[in-house]
Amino acid sequence: MPSIETLLRHAGLPGSPTPRLDAELLLAAALGKPRSYLHTWPEREPAAEQVAAFAGMLARRQAGEPVAYILGQQGFWSLDLEVAPHTLIPRADTELLVETALELLPASELHLLDLGTGTGAIALALAAERPRWQLLGVDRVSEAVALAERNRQRLGLANVRFAQSHWFAALNGQRFAAIISNPPYIAADDQHLRQGDVRFEPRSALVAGPDGLADLREIIRQAASHLEPGGWLLLEHGFEQAGEVRRLMLENGFAQPQSRCDLGGHERISLGQWQV
């Protein structure tokens, strides 16, 4: 049987931007061990069934399937979350929404809304950091709501709940101290939809009309009727959309909207405060 190091060296993932990392994550999963095991025991020879399991995972990755879907999990903030093909894979850039909400809002008892919750990543991260906050995460996809609830139960967080709703449709006038969302914001003809991991992610979680702004417009237009006085709206968007999002916020009564940059230095989120 080949050794761990031999398996990794010959994994062959030329289409991946992170081939070695992908191979290590997949092999560690096949072995049922942490990645550190691979570096500690590179000369060990896995059992035949473990090598076969690794080969099956490699084939899926070579076909372009995201590692997160192959493993069924993804790290976000301080949490390990279950993921599935009917939800967007949580990404590190979205942690900027979590950081900003924690910075803006007091730790006292507040009610917050996560629109388009998907795996529940944003709501669960905030609930874990602020036990006195009450989080509601909504998604129009029933499978996503069920997945987010499984993540909540596994993490043991009692201060968050999930419900099915297309944006604000099922919220019946409820108001919140903050509304946070990572909505679809890619244009329908964007070439990136045919590249990399996003080919496997649900288009409904990615595409928002011809210019990518359809859902952002709807959220900004409706948000005021679901915010408490002085409440905050925090939105993730495309790196070229910040100016338009700030303009939409101003038009809809949000004071002094601002944008913040992601890890790559691009304006990735915008926020504004509702003024009555």
Mean pLDDT of 186-202: 60
Q: Do both 21 and 145 map to the same domain?
A: no
User: Does pLDDT of 185 surpass 90?
Assistant: no
Q: Do both 56 and 85 map to the same domain?
A: no
Strands 73-76 and 227-236: unpaired
User: Does pLDDT of 195 surpass 70?
Assistant: no
How many domains, the chain? 2
Query: Which domain-ending residue is among 33, 63, 93?
Result: 63
Query: Which domain range does residue 46 map to?
Result: 4-63
Q: How confident is the model at residue 206 (pLDDT cuts 50, 70, 90)?
A: low
As a whole number of angstroms, the distance between CA 235 and CA 273 comes to 12
What percentage of the chain exceeds 70 in pLDDT?
Answer: 90
Q: Do both 19 and 151 map to the same domain?
A: no
User: Does pLDDT of 158 surpass 60?
Assistant: yes
Domain membership of residue 72 (yes or no) is: no
Q: Do both 108 and 50 map to the same domain?
A: no
**CA-CA distances (angstroms) from residue 24 to 43, 44, 211?**
14, 14, 38
Q: Dump pLDDT digits (tens) for 5-42.
A: 999 998 988 878 889 999 999 999 999 999 999 999 99
Q: Do both 111 and 40 map to the same domain?
A: no
User: Does pLDDT of 196 surpass 70?
Assistant: no
Q: Dump pLDDT digits (tens) for 213-242.
A: 889 999 999 999 999 999 999 999 988 899
pLDDT at 270: 97
Q: Are 105 and 228 in contact (CB under 8 A)?
A: no
Domain membership of residue 136 (yes or no) is: yes
As a whole number of angstroms, the distance between CA 79 and CA 125 comes to 7
Count Cβ atoms below 10 Å from residue 19 Cβ, excluding itself: 15
Higher-scoring residue by pLDDT: 190, 57? 57
Residue type, 202: P
User: Does pLDDT of 49 surpass 80?
Assistant: yes
**CA-CA distances (angstroms) from residue 275 to 171, 174, 229, 231, 244?**
21, 17, 6, 8, 20
Q: Are 261 and 267 in contact (CB under 8 A)?
A: yes
Query: Which domain-ending residue is among 18, 35, 63?
Result: 63
Q: What is the CATH number of the domain that holds 228?
A: 3.40.50.150
Domain membership of residue 172 (yes or no) is: yes
Domain membership of residue 155 (yes or no) is: yes
Q: Dump pLDDT digits (tens) for 88-129.
A: 899 889 999 999 999 999 999 999 999 999 999 999 999 999
Q: Do both 267 and 154 map to the same domain?
A: yes
Domain membership of residue 118 (yes or no) is: yes
As a whole number of angstroms, the distance between CA 123 and CA 213 comes to 23
Domain membership of residue 176 (yes or no) is: yes
Q: How confident is the model at residue 197 (pLDDT cuts 50, 70, 90)?
A: low
Q: Which residues contact 140 (CB under 8 A, 6 or more apart)?
A: 116, 164, 165, 166, 167
